[in-house]
């Protein structure tokens, strides 16, 4: 324990894990793929809204298709991934997503693009994103060791937040110049580049050792029990699940509300999303200091409680300057979301033994992203019935309550979070 408290050399303070070649490969892969994903996040629904003149419900269905895979295959995917090396899964997932994205501009150029093709693309992207995300979160402890997970997650969240800051600006301009369907070709290129960076990672995982005679169903049950019998993990999943469900409704309606009710162009919408990313960058740099100041447990609920109310500014916005005040509010929420993610994800990875990482991550992702699909569909229905602005009011108000499961748990007053002795023995002894 004492070695963790010794200050690292000054040279390592500046770059840390970025000096490690294999972590750099994952870092660069994450960088290009996150920028590409920002293009897709904006271009796919705008292709439906602007190119195909889709209604609120159709946009809701499209957004739900992206996350539906977490509900359909999330749990078995975790059990499968625990039986496989994660690096090849990352490569295949990137390549398949690149190929699927290319079908949209090709169909647009041929004049045959339909909303049904966008549904199919969104669902396929979701399936391979499940495998990518679960593998990625389970692969990081192998690359960096468990004692450096907060640093690793903070650096990767910095990438994600930087992409959220500048990616939407790039996406908005590409959509204005090339149309939304054609802009998706840039995401396809980014996914291909991401796969190449993962290929360059030299460190190989040892072959997984599945238990004798265990079935997928038994392993899924074990993963569910591991998460939901732990009161800390269960409260984190409940908070994130509630927030993400209503976030699905909020994000579905914001891409309808901003162009139709506020009259923003694709480039201006990109700037709104970019301000969310600015907050995320600040959150990535402050996640560790805030946890040290307030406590590892307390920061989990405080980050949500302090930042979610800023989302109420958007449904109050009107054309003109007030929409940009609302965009700044989204930046505050982005800050809180990244502080929450860095600290709770690092805790989950530290707590979980290697043999359970895939199932733990899949169980959590199944819930917190699966309900996002439900929220997106519900948001589309509410938008069709009540309008985009009213739906934003409902969703933002609901997200303000997301901190309650963690507040009414032992996390409320915990300064230090526990870690698994088995996990420590599995990885720290072999970390480089």
Domains of the chain: 19-203+215-430 (1.20.1250.20)
- Is the confidence at residue 429, as pLDDT, over 80? no
Burial of residue 402 (number of CB atoms within 10 Å: 0-12, 13-18, 19+): buried
Q: Among the residues of 47-148, which ranges form H helices?
A: 56-81, 86-110, 115-144
Evaluate whether 188 touches 101 at the Cβ level (below 8 Å): yes
The pLDDT score that the predictor gives to residue 431 is 35
- What tokens were used for 83? 């039986």
Give the pLDDT confidence of 308-323 residue by residue, as tens digits.
999 999 999 988 888 9
Please provide the average confidence, as pLDDT, over all residues in the chain: 83
For 53-72, give one letter per residue: b (16+ CB within 10 A) or e: ebbbbbbbbbbbbbbbbbbb
Give 240's DSSP letter. H
pLDDT tier for residue 177 given thresholds of 50, 70 and 90: confident
Kindly list the distances between the CA atom of residue 72 and the CA atoms of 128, 369, 378, in Å, as whole numbers in the listed order.
12, 11, 18
pLDDT tier for residue 423 given thresholds of 50, 70 and 90: very low
- Is the confidence at residue 221, as pLDDT, over 90? no
When pLDDT is averaged across residues 10-19 and rounded to a whole number, the result is 61
The pLDDT score that the predictor gives to residue 328 is 92
3-state secondary structure 280-327: HHHHHHHHHHHHHHHCCCHHHHHHHHHHHHHHHHCCCCCCCCHHHHHH
The pLDDT score that the predictor gives to residue 143 is 77
- What tokens were used for 271? 């700037």
Give the pLDDT confidence of 27-48 residue by residue, as tens digits.
888 888 888 877 888 888 888 8
Give the pLDDT confidence of 331-360 residue by residue, as tens digits.
999 899 989 988 888 888 788 887 787 788
pLDDT tier for residue 420 given thresholds of 50, 70 and 90: low
The pLDDT score that the predictor gives to residue 117 is 93
Give the pLDDT confidence of 187-218 residue by residue, as tens digits.
899 899 999 998 888 877 777 665 555 677 78
For the ranges 113-117, 127-131, 369-373, the maximum mean pLDDT occurs at: 113-117
Burial of residue 246 (number of CB atoms within 10 Å: 0-12, 13-18, 19+): buried
pLDDT tier for residue 276 given thresholds of 50, 70 and 90: confident
The pLDDT score that the predictor gives to residue 31 is 82
- Is the confidence at residue 122, as pLDDT, over 80? yes
- What tokens were used for 102? 């290319």
Query: Looking at per-residue confidence, does 377 or 158 come out higher?
Result: 377
Query: Looking at per-residue confidence, does 392 or 419 come out higher?
Result: 392
- Is the confidence at residue 150, as pLDDT, over 60? yes
The pLDDT score that the predictor gives to residue 309 is 96
Kindly list the distances between the CA atom of residue 366 and the CA atoms of 72, 288, 304, 341, 426, in Å, as whole numbers in the listed order.
8, 27, 21, 16, 26
Kindly list the distances between the CA atom of residue 6 and the CA atoms of 160, 213, 357, 419, 432, in Å, as whole numbers in the listed order.
29, 45, 29, 20, 17
Helix or strand run (H / E) with residue 225: helix 216-228
The pLDDT score that the predictor gives to residue 92 is 93
Evaluate whether 271 touches 330 at the Cβ level (below 8 Å): no
Evaluate whether 361 touches 345 at the Cβ level (below 8 Å): no
Task: Say how far apart CA 352 and CA 414 lie, in whole Å.
Answer: 19
The pLDDT score that the predictor gives to residue 161 is 64
Least confident of 55-69, 90-104, 162-176, 309-323: 162-176
Instruction: Count other Cβ atoms within 10 Å, centred on residue 145.
Output: 18
Task: Say how far apart CA 190 and CA 199 lie, in whole Å.
Answer: 14
Least confident of 105-119, 215-229, 293-307: 215-229
3-state secondary structure 157-170: HHHHHHHHHHHHHH
Residue among 195, 249, 182 at smallest CA distance from 28 = 195
Query: Looking at per-residue confidence, does 137 or 249 come out higher?
Result: 249
Q: Over pLDDT 90: what percentage of the chain?
A: 30
Q: Which residue has the tokens 């505050």?
A: 332
- Is the confidence at residue 2, as pLDDT, over 50? no
Angle, vertex CA 391, rays to CA 390 and CA 396, nearest 5: 105
Helix (H, G, I), strand (E, B) or coil at 361: helix
When pLDDT is averaged across residues 168-181 and rounded to a whole number, the result is 78
Query: Looking at per-residue confidence, does 427 or 137 come out higher?
Result: 137
């Amino acid at each position: 324990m004492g070695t963790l408290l010794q200050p690292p050399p000054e040279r390592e303070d500046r770059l840390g894990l970025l000096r490690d070649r294999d972590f750099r490969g994952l870092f660069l892969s994450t960088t290009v793929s996150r920028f590409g994903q920002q293009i897709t996040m904006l271009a796919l629904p705008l292709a439906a809204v602007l190119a195909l003149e889709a209604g609120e419900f159709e946009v809701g269905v499209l957004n739900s298709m992206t996350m539906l895979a977490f509900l359909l295959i999330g749990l078995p995917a975790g059990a499968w991934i625990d039986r496989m090396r994660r690096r090849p899964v990352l490569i295949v997932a990137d390549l398949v997503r690149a190929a699927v994205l290319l079908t949209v501009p090709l169909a647009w150029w041929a004049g045959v693009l339909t909303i049904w093709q966008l549904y199919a693309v969104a669902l396929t992207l979701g399936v391979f994103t499940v495998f990518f995300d679960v593998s990625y979160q389970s692969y990081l402890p192998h690359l960096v060791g468990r004692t450096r997970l907060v640093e690793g997650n903070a650096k990767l969240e910095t990438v994600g937040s930087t992409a959220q800051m500048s990616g939407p600006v790039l996406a908005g301009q590409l959509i204005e110049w090339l149309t939304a369907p054609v802009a998706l070709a840039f995401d396809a290129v980014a996914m291909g580049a991401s796969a190449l960076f993962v290929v360059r990672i030299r460190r190989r995982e040892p072959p997984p050792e599945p238990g004798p005679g265990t079935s997928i169903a038994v392993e899924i049950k074990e993963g569910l029990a591991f998460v939901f019998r732990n009161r800390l993990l269960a409260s984190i999943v409940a908070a994130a699940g509630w927030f993400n469900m209503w976030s699905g409704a909020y994000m579905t309606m914001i891409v309808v509300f901003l162009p139709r009710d506020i009259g923003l162009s694709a480039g201006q919408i990109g700037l709104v999303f970019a301000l969310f990313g600015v907050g995320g960058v600040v959150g990535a740099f402050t996640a560790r200091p805030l946890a040290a100041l307030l406590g590892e447990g307390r920061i989990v609920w405080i980050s949500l409680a302090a930042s979610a109310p800023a989302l109420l500014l958007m449904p109050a916005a009107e054309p003109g300057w007030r929409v940009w005040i609302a965009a700044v509010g989204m930046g505050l929420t982005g800050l809180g979301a990244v502080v929450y993610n860095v600290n709770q994800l690092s805790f989950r990875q530290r707590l979980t033994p290697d043999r359970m990482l895939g199932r733990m991550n899949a169980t959590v992702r199944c819930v917190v992203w699966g309900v996002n699909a439900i929220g997106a569909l519900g948001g589309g229905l509410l938008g069709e019935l009540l309008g985009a602005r009213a739906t934003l009011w409902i969703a933002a108000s609901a997200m303000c309550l997301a901190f309650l499961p963690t507040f009414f748990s032992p996390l409320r007053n915990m300064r230090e979070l526990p870690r698994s002795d088995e996990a420590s023995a599995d990885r720290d002894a072999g970390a480089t």
